[in-house]
Structure 1
Amino acid sequence: MRRAERLFQIIQILRRSRAPVTADAIAAELETSKRSVYRDIAALVGQRAPIRGEAGVGYVLEAGFDMPPLMLTPDEIEAAVLGAQWVAGRGDPVLAKAASDLISKIAAAVPDRLRPYVLEPAAAASPAWKPQADRIDVAQVRAWIHAGRKIRLDYSDEAGAISERVIWPVTVGYRETVRMIIAWCELREAFRTFRTDRVVGADFLDERHGKRPAVLRAEWIKFRAAEIAAWTSRENAAC
């Protein structure tokens, strides 16, 4: 790897991490020596890259720094195309169209020598599924997640009983042939999962739930981790 490319890669490694990254970790990812990483960090700092940290502790790239992106590598192209293929076959209609458009844009943007990685990739997503029909506008659900707003649902359970719920949507998930809305449920005072094909009616409320989306998502991740830990403990006890 040329030194100029290595400098860009160090910036990318620091940019994607929220915690300090050690020279050992950087050296391992770039398959180079720690001495080279120390020299490269010093060179970047000398070029006014806002990198904080020190040897033995780790390095952090301060917020607000930006630089032109590198040309995509063949592996990055195939990763992006594979992900876009999956979304094109399984996302809601708005995301599916965006994924198809993304593949076309990547094909148009890369040099001719890299275009086969877009148009004839070595990896491919499985054929598109045929999910149960959504009975709620999933694109608007995603917009309400970003906006931190509430949704009122008339929701049918497996037996057909309908209940009214006010939810704080966290994320849209995918399970086999159904899409799911993971949300905080005011009625149950807990996180719950709602199948989009069982929604009988929905009102997208202007009212905000008062938590930043990132905070609500972190709480759900913590809740989910606790659920998994409890399940694992029960399984181990049963054995």
Structure 2
Amino acid sequence: MRRADRLFLIIHALRGRRSALPARSLAETLGVSLRTIYRDVADLQVSGVPIEGEAGVGYMLRKGADIPPLMFNAAELEALVVGTRFVRAFGGERLGVAARAALLKIEAVLPPELRDRSRRTRIFAPVVPGRHETRGPVDRLHAAIEARELLLLDYRDGDDRVTAREVEPLCLAFWGGVWTLGAWCRLRGDFRNFRPDRIARIRETGRSFDDDPARGLDAYLRQVDTC
């Protein structure tokens, strides 16, 4: 996480609070050390942000230093909360961290009654280590899609046979029980879907691929729609 994003999150975590927020809670939420939180808060105070409190006690914004709440109704807010829970449970570590940070930003600027409502929703998506849907390398594939990185996959099919595939990764899709990687497979010369949990190994090629309309994302989606 960039330091600028972390400072922004600290300010938003303190907005609208009636009691001091312990530094340890901030550190656990942002995934940093207590020393980092102490240093960041001190820097914010020096720059003029009206943060009151001290190490070992907690922090809060000076009364009146708040901003108007986001305009969400209860149903919209619950949808956002449930959505971030599902991303944390099924979206891999990278998106899970981002979802947690996004929810923190949202809750930090809500009026108290809506903040309480967001925490009372009874729709859960528990994070279970080793879950079938997240055993595969979702984060690694996500990064390759963004970078248009050509990958070599050792892929295990339903009969446990392993083949080497050189693929152009295009997108990830979650089907409520399993992820699939949509890609152009150079071995088959066609679009294919690969289950991340069946990828035995990802080998980097150090190469990227061009955005070819004939085998790019739009063409893949058109083929999926006609299947």
Distance 1:72 1:139 in 2: 32
Q: Which has the higher contact order (CA 8 A, sep 6+)?
A: 2
Q: Distance in 2 between matches of 1:108 and 1:86?
A: 20
| Structure 2 counterparts to residues 98-117 of structure 1, below 5 A | 98-117=98-117
Contact 2:91 2:134 in 1 (8 A): no
Q: Distance in 2 between matches of 1:179 and 1:92?
A: 11
Determine whether 1:156 maps to 2:166.
no
Cα separation, 2, equivalents of 1:118 and 1:82: 9
Q: What amino acid does structure 1 have at the position aligned with 2:194?
A: F
TM-score, normalised relative to structure 1: 0.57
Aligned residues: 156
Gaps of 5+ in 1: 1-69, 228-239
Q: Distance in 2 between matches of 1:135 and 1:86?
A: 17
The alignment status of 1:220 with 2:220, answered yes or no, reads yes
Shift of 1:93: 2.1
* Residue range with higher mean Cα deviation, 147-156 or 105-114: 105-114
Encode CA deviations 1:205-237: one digit per residue, 9 max, x unaligned: 332210079x8221111011111xxxxxxxxxx
Using the alignment, how far apart are the partners of 2:216 and 2:79 within structure 1?
A: 29
Distance 2:136 2:190 in 1: 23
Residues 187-226 of structure 1 mapped to structure 2, 5 A cutoff:
187-211=187-211, 216-226=216-226
- The 1:218/1:139 distance shift into structure 2, 3 A limit, reads same
TM-score, structure 2 normalization? 0.60
Partner of 2:186: 186
Does the 8 A contact of 1:135 with 1:200 survive in 2? no
* Rounded Cα–Cα distance in structure 2 between residues aligned with 1:135 and 1:124: 25
Q: Percent identity?
A: 26
List structure 1 runs of 4+ shifted beyond 6 angstroms.
none
Q: AA paired with 1:131?
A: H
Deviation for aligned residue 1:111: 2.2
| 2:132 paired residue number | 131
Say whether the 8 Å CA contact 1:106–1:118 is kept in structure 2: no
Structure 1 residues 88 and 131, CA gap change in structure 2 (3 angstroms) = same
Q: Find the aligned partners of 1:79 and 1:164 in 2 and give their Cα distance.
A: 41
Question: Is residue 155–residue 200 contact of structure 2 (8 Å, CA) maintained in 1?
Answer: yes
Q: Deviations over 1:111-131 (max 9, x none)?
A: 22321232123x624555732
> Structure 1 residue 168 and structure 2 residue 176: aligned?
no
1:87 aligns with 2:92: no
Given that 1:152 and 1:165 are in contact with CA atoms closer than 8 Å, whether structure 2 keeps it comes out as yes
Instruction: Note the C-alpha offset of 1:132.
Output: 5.2
RMSD (Å), alpha carbons: 2.7
